[in-house]
Structure 1
Amino acid sequence: MKVSELLAVPHFAGMNMIAGASGKEREVHTVNMMDAPDIIHFLNQNELLVTTAYHVKDHPDQLTELIRMMSEKGCAALGIKTKRFLKEIPQSVIDLANELSFPIIDLPIEISLGEIVNHTLRAISDKRATELSLAFETHKQFTQLILQGKGIPKLLQDLSQTIGYPVQLINQHLKPIFKTNSDSELFTFMNSIRKEAFTLSVKNTSSIAFSLRATRQAYTLFPIYFSEKKIGFLSVMGDIQHYNPSTLLTIDQAINVISFALMKEQALKQQTRSIRNDFFLRFIDGAFPSETETLHRAAEFSLPNNQMYVVAGKLDDTDRYFTYTERQQTIDDIYEFIEDEVNKGHFFTLGDCCIILFEIHQDSSIEKSLLQLQSMVLSYFDKTISFGVSNISHTFLQTKHAYKEALDALKQGELLKKTNFIQTFQTKDVIELLRLIPEKELKTFYRYTLQGFFQSKAEEEQTLLETLSVFLDTNCQISETAKRLFVHRNTVVYRIEKCEEILGKSLKESETTLQLRIALRLKTLLEL
C-alpha cells in the first residue's frame, strides 16, 4: 500500500507528514522498528521504519545520513515520535527529506511502536487480501468470457470498461490483432516503427511507457507471452505504470487469460494450417478423382476459382545452421510472419518451401508485394528469401501446373547462384496458350486427332506415338528419327507408313502435322 493510504487508516488518525510530502505515493510493503544505530544495514526496499529517535536524541543531525541512506535503499518512509525524545526535527533534515521526496511522519506519542507495527502489518495484509480477492474475481470473469466462446475481443472490451482506458492487442511484430477503438495515431506509429524493424526490449520489465510527440498521448505496453519464443503486447492508451495497483492487477489478470487464449488460438491455427497443407499436397499429387470434388474441397478452404499467380518461396542459405531444430525453427518463424503479412493471398508450406496463391486484383502488383516481403524478412530476421513466380493460372485447377512452374522458376534462379531474387517462369512453348482452352475441349481434340491409335494394343500404340513424336520433332527426317530411337532406318519407315495408314492422311501435309504436334503436346499437358 502507499504511504498516503497508510496515513488514511483509522488507527493512525494522529499521524502527520511533516516532510517529503511529494513522496507520498511510495509503496509500503513491510515495517520495521529502530532499536540500534546500525539499523540501516537491516532495512529493505519499500520498508517503513518507525522509531522514538532515542539513539539520535543527543545528535539529531544524524537523521540526515539515515534519511539519505534510506532513500538510496528505496525505503518507503521514516516515522518518528518527535515529542518523545526530540525537541524538534532539524531544518536540515526537513530540507533533505523534501529534496529527496522522502516522507517523514510524525507519530502520535500515545500509540506504542508495537501497536503501530501491528496496525501497519494488518492494514497491508488486509489490502493484499482485498487485491487477491479482486484478482481471483477478475481472473474468473475473464476466463468465463473465453470459456463461453466470446473470445478475446469481448475480453478486451470488458477490460477497457473496467480500467477506463482504450486497449489494443498487438502481436510480436507490432501488428494490431484486436482493438477496442479506432486509434489511428497508434496504428500509424506502430506501422512506422515496424518499417524500421524496431524491436522493443521487454527483458526484465513488466511494461514500457512512451508518448507520441505529435499529440503527447501516452501509451503503456504490457508484454504477453503466449509461447516459448513468441511475445505480444497489450497496449493501454495512457501512462498507468504507477497508477492504482488494482488497475495494474486487473491488467495482469487479463494478460494471464489472454496468454492462454492466444496459446489455444495458436494451436488451432497450426492444426488448420496442417489440414490446408495436406489438402494442397494431395491436390498437387492428383489424389482427388474428379474436378468437382477438387473444387468442392477448395471451397471448404475459401480457395477461389479465379485468376491467380502461384509463388514458391524459399529461404536462402538454410543449410548453414548448426542444428536441424534451429534451422526448422527459423523457417517456421519466418513463414508464419509471411503468412500474417499476406493480405491478398492463400498460404501453404510444403517442405522447405512456402507456397502463396496471389489473387489478381486491379490495384495489386505481385512484384511490389514480394519486394515488400523480402524487405521485411531482411529487416526483422536478417535473412533473405527468394521467390519463383508462375504464369497466370485462370482457374484453381490450373494451379497444379502453375505450382510446378513456380518451382521451376525458383530452381532456375538457384542454378544461376542468385539470392534474394524474384524469378518469373518463362513459357517455353504453346502450352500456356493451350491452358486457356477448357480441359474438356482439349481432351475432345486429342481423342479426335489420335482416335485411330486407340484401337491398337497399348504397347503398339505407345511405340507408334513415340516414333511419330520424334519424327515430327526432327522435321520429318527419317535418318535422324532412327538415330534418336536407336532403331534401323527401315523400322522408322515402316512405323511412319503404319501411322499414315491409321490416320488415313499423309504426314507430308502441313495441316496434318500441325494437328498431330498439338495433340502430342496435349498428351503431356493432360497427363494422358
Structure 2
Amino acid sequence: MHLTVEEALTIYPLSRAKLVAGEKGLTRILRSVNVMDAPDAGDWIKSGEMLFTTAFVMKDHLDMALSTLRMLDERGGAGLGIKVGRYWNEIPQELYDEANRLEMPILELPFEFTFSDQMDALFNAEYTKTTKKLQTVLEKQKQLMQFALRNKESSDIFHMISGILGQPIAVFGQGGNVLFHNTSWSEDILLHQWPWTKTPQWEGFGDTRCFRIPLMDPHGCTGFFKVYVNSPLMLKEEEALFHQAAEILTYHLGLDIQKGKNPSRLHTLSQVFHDFFQRELSFHDFMKNCKSHQLTVLSSTYQCVLTTISTDQLGAARLLNEVRQSFIYHPQLQHYESEHFYLTEGLLSIFALPEERIFHKKEFLASLTSSLSHLSSRSATTGLHCWVSRAKAQPEVIFDAYNECLETHRAADRLHMTQTVLHHESIELFSLFQHLSEEAMYSYYTYVLEPIYGTSKHVDPELALTLEVYFEYDGSINETSRYLFVHRNTVSYRLEKIADLLQMDFKKMSDLLRLKLAFLFRNYLKNKT
C-alpha cells in the first residue's frame, strides 16, 4: 500500500472518520494497517504503519497512549486510529496536544464499521490505483515503442519523450552540457554534484525527486537523462519505462556522435568538403556530391562557423563531438537547419538562416556562446573557440566563408583576442591595414594613445583598463561593467574622464574608429613582442 493519510481519508468507509489532531501530518505515507490489541504492540510498529485500536489496553494508562504515539513518530508511522465510544468516550486532551506537537494524525474511527471493513477498503483502493497506474505505464510503453519505430530523426525528440512520460525531463551531453530541459530549475542546480557516476539512481531535488540514468552505448557514455517526479513512490514498472525512454535517447544521441567516426553520409561529406577546400575537387563535382547526399543548407543564405581546439588538448575529437551535439540540440540553434563536418582544422558548421524571420546576428552569436559555456568552463578545457564568417547567399562562395573563418582565427591569434566566439567583422579593420609596416603601426597608436600610455603620464591604471575592456566588448557598457565588477554608471564616468584626456568624443564615429585602429595595432605589436 502506498497512500498518504490524506488520500486514505477519502476512501469509504474511512472517509467517515474524523481527523482530530496532527493535521500537519496528513502527507505521511501509509503502507500498512495493524490492530493494537496488546500492551506491547507499540514494540512491533513498522515504518508507514497506522495503528487501529479500541483503546482497551490504554484506557486506564495515559502514559502508555503517549508512549505509543511517540514510538509511532520515531519509527515513521502513519498515524493512530481510535474507535471512540467503547472504552474511551473522548480522547484525552494530553494526547491531542502531543499529536499536534509530533504532527502525528489521530483519527476518530466510525463506530459502526469494523476494522476489517476499513482495512479491506484501503487495500482494494490501493489495488485499483496500482492497476490503473500499470495500465497507464503500459500505454506509455506502447507510445514510446511507436515513437521509436518511426525510424526517422525528430528535432523535437525531447519534447516528445517528455510528453509521453508526462514528466519534466533534462538531457545532458557527455561533458555535462545541458542539451534540453523543461524544468523550472537553473542549469547550475540541474548539474548538482557533477560529474555523476554511470549507474542509474534516485536523487532528491527540492520538493521533488528525479531518476538519473546514464545513456550508455557500446562506445561508452553518450550523456545522462533525468526524469523529475512529484510522486513520493514509484512502481518498478515506471522505472522500467524511464529506462526504455533512456534507450531511445541513447540511440539518437549515440548515433549523432558515431556519425563522425563511421562510414556514413557525414563521413563522406566531410571528405567532400575537405577535398574541395584543398582544391582537389572542382566546384561542379562538389555541388554534385552535395546534391546526391541531399545537403540543402547551401540553397539559402547561410553562415559558417569553424570550431577549433588547441592542438595540445587531450580528447580533442571527443570534445568536438560534444560541441556538435550542443549545436544540434541547443534550444535557439534548433531553429536553424544545420550541417556539421569534421575537417583537419576542427568542426565546420553551416547554419541556414531562416528566411521567414529576421536574422539577428547578436542573438546567433549569443546562442553559440551559451552552447559552449559549460564546455569552456571546464578547468581541463582550454583553447575552445568558434570563428564565424559573414552571411553568404550563394553556394559558390562557401570557400570564401571557410577562408573568413580561418582568417578570423589567424587574426585573433595575432591580436591576442580571447573571445570564445568571434565574428569576422571583428577583425575586418585589421585585415585592411595588416600590410602596413610595423613602424607605421607603432607611430599611429603611440600618437593616439599617448595621453594614457605615455611614459611621462600618471594616469590611473583603472582608466586604461576600462578603455581596453570597453573596446574588447565592442563598446558595450553593460558587458564592460560586468567584466570589471563595477556599476555601469562607474564605467560611464570613467569613459567621460578618458574622453577628456584623449580630447575625443566617443559619440563620433571618426573618433571611435581612430581608437579602434590604435588598439588593433597596439595589441598586434604587443603580442608579437
Q: Give me the TM-score of the superposition, normalised by structure 2.
A: 0.55
Q: Counterparts of 1:352 and 1:45 in 2: how far apart (Å)? A: 62
Letter in 2 for 1:285: D
3-state SS of paired residue (1:230): strand
Residue 396 (structure 1) shift: 3.2
**Contact kept in structure 2, 1:171 and 1:231, CA below 8 Å:** yes
Specify the alignment match of 1:453 in structure 2. none
Alignment pair present for 1:303 and 2:297: yes
Query: Match for residue 356 of structure 1?
Result: 349
Q: Does 1:373 align with 2:374?
A: no
What is the match of residue 314 of structure 1?
308
SS in 1 for 2:325: helix
1:264 to 241, 251, 261: 251
Q: Which amino acid aligns with 2:253?
A: Q
Match of 1:29 among 28, 31, 53: 31
Q: CA deviation at 1:147?
A: 5.0
Q: Distance in 2 between matches of 1:225 and 1:291?
A: 46
Query: Shift of the alpha carbon at 1:154?
Result: 11
Can you list the C-alpha shifts for 1:203-238, whole angstroms capped at 9, x where unaligned? 8446666xxxxxxxxxx8966747257346678xxx
**For 2:268, which of 263, 278, 283 is the aligned residue?**
278
Question: Which residues of 2 match residues 195-206 of structure 1 at below 5 A?
Answer: 199=190, 201=192, 204-205=202-203
Q: Distance between the aligned counterparts of 2:164 and 2:142, measured in 1?
A: 13
- From the superposition, tell whether residues 161 and 266 of structure 1 become closer, same or farther in structure 2 (CA, over 3 Å): closer
Residues 296 and 39 of structure 1: is their aligned pair in 2 closer, same or farther, counting only changes over 3 Å? farther
Q: What displacement does 1:45 show? A: 3.0
1:261 partner letter: I
Contact 1:298 1:304 in 2 (8 A): no
Residues 275 and 281 in structure 2, CA contact (< 8 A), matched pair in contact too: no
1:57 CA displacement: 3.4
Distance 1:33 1:171 in 2: 47
Number of aligned residues: 391
Distance 1:6 1:129 in 2: 14
Query: Is 1:277–1:350's contact at 8 Å kept on the other side of the alignment?
Result: no
Aligned-residue CA RMSD (Å): 5.3
- Aligned partner of residue 297 in structure 2, secondary structure: coil
1:284-314 CA-to-partner distances (Å, cap 9, x unmatched) read 2249866444324324122314665543222
Contact 2:307-2:348 within 8 A present in 1 as well: yes
Classify 1:42/1:296 alpha carbon distance in 2 versus 1 (closer, same or farther; 3 Å). farther
Name 1:67's counterpart in structure 2. 69
The structural deviation recorded for 1:279 is: 0.6
Distance change in 2, residues 1:255/1:122 (3 Å) = same
Residue 333 (structure 2) pairs with residue 340 (structure 1): no
> Kindly tell me: are residues 290 and 160 of structure 1, through their superposed partners in 2, closer, same or farther at Cα, counting changes over 3 Å?
closer
Q: Which residue of 2 aligns with 1:43?
A: 45
Shift of 1:347: 2.9
Larger radius of gyration: 1
1:131 positional shift: 4.2
> Residue type matched to 1:230 in 2?
G
Equivalence for 1:294: 286
1: CA distance, partners of 2:130 / 2:13: 19
8 Å CA contact retained: 2:8, 2:122: no
What is the aligned partner in structure 1 of residue 131 from structure 2? 130
Unpaired runs of 5+ in structure 2?
A: 194-200, 216-220, 433-529
Match of 1:78 in 2: 80
Counterpart of 1:377, as a letter, is L
Aligned counterparts of 1:364 and 1:226: Cα–Cα separation in 2: 37
Amino acid paired to 1:123: N
Cα distance in 1, alignment partners of residues 160 and 367 from structure 2: 33
Contact 1:313 1:388 (8 Å CA) reproduced: yes
Per-residue deviation, 1:373: 2.9
Give yes or no for contact 1:374–1:420 (8 Å, CA) kept in 2: no
Report if the CA contact (8 A) 2:8-2:15 is conserved: no
Q: CA deviation at 1:130?
A: 1.8
In the alignment, residue 276 of structure 1 is paired with which amino acid? L
SS in 2 for 1:75: coil
Deviation at 1:91, TM superposition (A): 1.0
- Give the superposition deviation at 1:22: 5.7
Contact in 2 for aligned 1:313/1:387 (Cα 8 Å) = yes
d(CA) in 2 for partners of 1:28, 1:79: 12
Distance verdict in 2 for CA 1:241–1:70, change over 3 Å: same
In 2, Cα distance between equivalents of 1:306 and 1:139 = 40
The 1:276/1:263 distance shift into structure 2, 3 A limit, reads same
1:16, distance to aligned residue in structure 2 (A): 4.8
Query: Who is 1:97 aligned against?
Result: 99
How far off is 1:80 after superposition? Answer: 3.1
Instruction: Tell me, yes or no, if the aligned pair for 1:79 and 1:104 is still in contact at 8 Å.
Output: yes
TM-score (norm 1): 0.55
Matches within 5 A, 1:507-522: none
Any stretches of 5+ residues in structure 1 without a counterpart? 180-185, 210-219, 430-528
